[in-house]
Amino acid sequence: EAPSDEANLIQDLIAKAMPAVVTIFGLTDGEFPNRGGTPRGPISAGTGFFFSAEGLLLTNDHVVRDRESLRVILSTGEFKRAEIIGRDPYMDTAILKVEGGPFHVLSLGDSTKLRAGDTVIAVGSPLRNFEGSVSKGIVSGLGRRFPNRVQTAAGEVRIDLVGMIQTDAALNSGNSGGPLLNVRGEVIGMNTGREQGSD
């Protein structure tokens, strides 16, 4: 059976988007080996995406929080060092810098134009499989609240994220920080599947 026009559209969209999506690995203790080998210490995984050809990428803050060493895996399989250059724990966003480039980038769309029922595509690197995955869904709701934990000098506080997009697109551990795309391939949100700090 031949694929539908919608299937062709999404396949083309994903083919263009994937080169801009990366897997992020972080160590809570120690450093990655310079030349191969197994890193020491607990390791976390998440997703990010380039929005600048000069190597700037967006992800969730909880993906990189308290990490002493960060690496990203490009869609080509190449490993790169990454450093945090900006964080907003209250909005659960972080900007990383990766040396090199130019890199493939994703365009940022306008999430204020979303309506319930719009088709969206979630892209990420779940379950530490090193490869991008895709799930399709619809916008289930807009303006949702989501629990967020932020570490302050006075201790951990819980401040809800607001204005969240609810979707029925499947998300798994490791999808956090990946792009949520509209049917034009524009980023209209970042994926986060469960309470921050648990990925």
Catalytic residues: 62, 92, 176
| Count of Cβ atoms closer than 10 Å to residue 116 Cβ | 11
Answer left, alpha or beta for residue 16, where phi above 0 means left and psi between -120 and 50 means alpha: alpha
- Looking from the CA of 18 toward its CB, the CA atoms found within 13 Å total 16
Answer left, alpha or beta for residue 177, where phi above 0 means left and psi between -120 and 50 means alpha: left
What is the side-by-side order of every strand in the sheet holding 119-124? 161-167, 133-146, 119-124, 179-181, 187-190
Cis peptide upstream of residue 3 (ω within 30 degrees of 0)? no
Residue type, 191: N
